[in-house]
Chain A
Amino acid sequence: MVNKPGKASILAAQDDWNIQLDSHGRLKHFLTIEGLGSEILNNILDTAESFANINEQSVKKVPLLRGKTIVNLFFEASTRTRTTFELAAKRLSADVLNINISTSATSKGETLLDTLRNIQAMQCDMFIVRHNDSGAAHHIARNVSPDISVINAGDGRHAHPTQAMLDMFTIRRSKGHDFGKLRVAIVGDLMHSRVARSQIHALNTLNTGEVRVIGPKTLIPMGIENMGVTVYNDMAAGIKDADVVIMLRLQKERMQGALLPSEQEFYAMYGLSREKLRHAKADAIVMHPGPINRGVEIETAVADGPQSVILKQVTYGISIRMAVMSMVLGREAQSDSRPADEAKA
């Protein structure tokens, strides 16, 4: 048993998931959806619900993370994700540093870990990491000092857990809490999509009725069926009777070689037009993690149409990120916690 091949790699993989949780099973880092149970995911969604209320008030700020310092470490360009993380931190009253590493010290020859040690020496509490290499956030989480939490804001093709959670939040707010009755279709470039990978894990953990992935064979990873999804190469069949249609961006910057005939052909087969959307349920919602390529993945009339919740996803991203940050940083010394009503004055 001990010598069984592959055991070490399985253990290593489990270790990767487990570094997300502290000894009390609470979220310490948020690196991937994998390995997290429905209880934690639902806790994130419920907490985000509270913060969604804050974000609708005239004063959108609470003092929860006053005195905490959060560092946005972005090794890869991002507008939406970085700004919503920054806004989320500011609405929790944390201090935020934005470091764009690609234009910074690493270009002067400093190694990643040296850069980290320097920022760590400034006594920060949390790193939000985006990197174009899969596993970068894990690597950083394993190497930072134990009092620092790491949140993965997208690593290579691997994971984008806060995006997946804001998508779950958008679905829950539109379609209710019971994911069991939902049919969700994810369309497009599955091959390069860390968002899709995290979404599939989250949808399965929340017991979604059916998860379908749709795209050309060249953009669907081999063996994706093992993640508990049904593969469709035909768009009309794939989105038939779907409650939720999630479009993915064609990640041309990550494509090597001829995976695509042409954008026009892709749009003709897999672009979400009004006509194709008719195959889904009449009340289906249309999602896209952004940035959207109009006329490549999605028709303008659909992106801006009544079924689109694309901009709601952006709004909800703030609540989800506030929830994750406050859960991760509100975890210290909870073992001596008093019951809530006793602590209440």
Chain B
Amino acid sequence: MDDIATPDTLLAHMADTLKQLLAERAIDRPLMVGIHTGGVWIAEQLHQQLAITEPLATLDISFYRDDFSRIGVNPKVKPSKLPPQVEDRDIILVDDVLHTGRTIRAAMNEIFDYGRPSSITLVCLIERNGRELPVQADIVGQKIQLTANQHIKLNGPTPLQLVLS
């Protein structure tokens, strides 16, 4: 397995690539949305590095999960903070680890409950193998291959640290 870089190193590179991508796509007023909890930490960093003026939006997708009937309701769901107007917005959706793709599916469902965005760009710190849905990230900090029993997790917010188990 590859060595995992530190989140800070990855973030600097991701911010540069994201800037380029937004320029290519002529997106000048993006709405950045972080997914609780790790995705919000990553989004906070990118939000700062890209100097986006509009406040960071956050999503807790617990109520949109497709495994609710298996794991039950989580009593500590954080509020989603989306602006009332997502219609026609260019959204940058940020998460820490892209694995099965189910979190992203749930997040997109929640976003669409608020309106129809013009586009969604997906940014993930880590992309690992194990996709169960046709979801791909536009910008990735690092791609890694893990066995089915291995897990990677982001601890934070200060310091941000990737932990493999």
Measured in the bound complex, the distance between the Cα atoms of B73 and A24 in whole Å is 15
The answer on a CB contact under 8 Å between A345 and B73 is no
Beyond A63-B63, A345-B99, whether A43 also contacts B113 by CB under 8 A is no
Task: Tell me whether B100 and A336 are in contact (CB under 8 A).
Answer: no
* Chain B contacts for A47, CB-based, 8 A: 73, 75
Contact between B104 and A340, CB atoms less than 8 A apart: no
Report Cα–Cα, A280/B109, bound state, in Å: 49
Contacts A344-B99, A345-B103 given: A336-B75 contact, CB under 8 Å? no
Shortest Cβ distance from residue A322 to the other chain B in the assembled complex, whole angstroms: 9
Given contacts A344-B103, A345-B98, contact A64 B68 (CB under 8 A): yes
A53 touches B77 (CB 8 A): yes
> Please, which residues of chain B bring their CB within 8 A of the CB of A336?
70
The answer to whether B113 and A345 have CB atoms under 8 Å apart is no
> Number of contacting residues on B, CB 8 A?
37
Complex interface residues of chain A between 44 and 87 (CB less than 8 A to chain B): 46-47, 49-50, 53-54, 56-59, 61-64
From A43, which residue of chain B is reached at the shortest CB distance? Answer: B75
Answer whether residue B159 sits at the interface, using C-beta atoms and an 8 A cutoff: no
Q: Are A333 and B99 in contact (CB under 8 A)?
A: no
- For chain A, the count of residues having a C-beta within 8 Å of the partner chain is 33
Interface membership of B118, Cβ < 8 A: no
A338-B84 in contact (CB<8A):
no
Contact partner of B69 (CB less than 8 A), chosen from A333, A342, A345, is: A333
| Bound Cα distance from A47 to B74, whole angstroms | 7
Contact indicator A58/B71 (Cβ below 8 Å): no
Tell whether A53 pairs with B79 under 8 Å between CB atoms, given A331-B72, A343-B71, A344-B103. yes
Interface membership of A332, Cβ < 8 A: yes
Binding site for B on A (CB under 8 A): 26, 43, 46-47, 49-50, 53-54, 56-59, 61-64, 323, 326-327, 330-334, 336-338, 340-345
Binding site for A on B (CB under 8 A): 62-65, 67-80, 82, 84, 95, 97-105, 109, 113-114, 132, 135, 151, 153
Taking A50-B74, A343-B71 as given, write out 4 further A-B residue pairs in contact, using a Cβ cutoff of 8 Å, ordered by the A residue number: A62-B63, A62-B64, A64-B73, A344-B97
